[in-house]
Structure 1
Amino acid sequence: MIARHRRDRAYLAFLGHRISGIGLAVFLPLHFIVLAEVLAGEAALDSVLAFTAHPVVKAMEWLLLVLVCAHLIFGLRLLMLELRPWRGRGADRRGWILPGLILALAIGTVAMLGAV
């Protein structure tokens, strides 16, 4: 049986923040490896650029952007919880979770479509 607190939207925001943070922590070493590869010369740059044109890599770029946006939005929500005065039940701003997730998905989609 799932504990009552784990069925709450706030717990899902907690999970989203943690999972996006882990995803970003996995991305950074891979990013540094690619940057080091590019420093090897023009041929290496061309091979990396050819690799990034693959549709799977494009999908991963979209996911990365969504993770960054979700991590930012959920982190801002946590800051608001910690720094703003507590105003009783319902003051944990649960209503910000779904719009924040939708905003993260929208930003990722708009950026990948080339509109930004």
Structure 2
Amino acid sequence: MDTRPRSHPTYIAFLVHRISGLLLALFLPLHFWALSRAIQGEAALENFLRWTDNGLVKASETLLVILLAAHLAGGLRVLALEFLGWRSSQKTLVAASAGVSLAAGLLFLLNVG
């Protein structure tokens, strides 16, 4: 029987890593569709690029960068667990990775303008 609490930061980090991976996988077909606009011609690509100036698309791009950073940080955490073993500072590492993920998203948001 698993007695670890579901509110433990490492469990939340596990969920963030899995959910961000799932959302990124769901994004891939949209990404490939966007790339196909370039293959279909200049006009199709120009229409798509004009659509990306929408504020909701910009917010979605920022969320995507945060998801990518969170998934990367979660993957690095899993690698650290595999090769370094359990440390008492796991909660600190989880908090640091969350901060780095949010900082990456905010930096992207500042550069999107």
TM over 0.5: yes
Report the equivalent of 1:19: 19
Q: How many residue pairs get matched?
A: 110
User: How far has the Cα of 1:42 moved from its partner?
Assistant: 1.0
Distance 1:74 1:63, change over 3 A: same
TM-score, reference length from structure 2? 0.89
Q: Within 1, Cα distance between the matches of 2:49 and 2:98?
A: 30
* Structure 2 Cα separation of the partners of residues 86 and 9 of structure 1: 14
Picking from 88, 91, 94, the partner of 2:91 is 94
Q: What is aligned with 1:81?
A: 81
- Alignment partner, residue 57 of structure 1: 57
Cα RMSD (Å) of the superposition? 1.7
Distance (Å, rounded) in 2 between the aligned partners of 1:36 and 1:102? 35
The TM-score with structure 1 as length reference comes to 0.87
Moved over 3 A (4+): none
Out of 76, 82, 105, the position equivalent to 2:102 is 105
- Per the TM alignment, residue 86 of structure 1 is displaced from its structure 2 partner at its CA by 4.5
- Name the CA distance, whole Å, in 1 between partners of 2:98 and 2:84: 21
Larger relative contact order, structure 1 or 2 (CA cutoff 8 Å, min sep 6): 2
- In the TM superposition, residue 10 of structure 1 has moved relative to its aligned partner by 0.7
1-structure distance, mates of 2:8, 2:80: 18
Aligned to 1:41: 41
Contact 1:38 1:48 in 2 (8 A): no
Report how far residue 38 of structure 1 moved: 2.2
Counting aligned pairs with the same residue, the percent is: 45
> What is the CA-CA distance between 1:5 and the residue it aligns to?
2.3
Letter in 1 for 2:7: R
Q: Which runs of 5+ in 1 are unaligned?
A: none
* 1:99 Cα deviation from its structure 2 partner: 1.6
**Partner deviation per Cα, 1:2-59 (whole Å, 9 max, x = no partner):** x752111110000000011011101111100111122111110110101110000000
CA contact 1:6–1:12 (8 Å) conserved in 2: yes
Q: For the structure 1 residues 33 and 71, does the alpha-carbon distance in structure 2 shift closer, same or farther, using more than 3 Å as the test? A: same
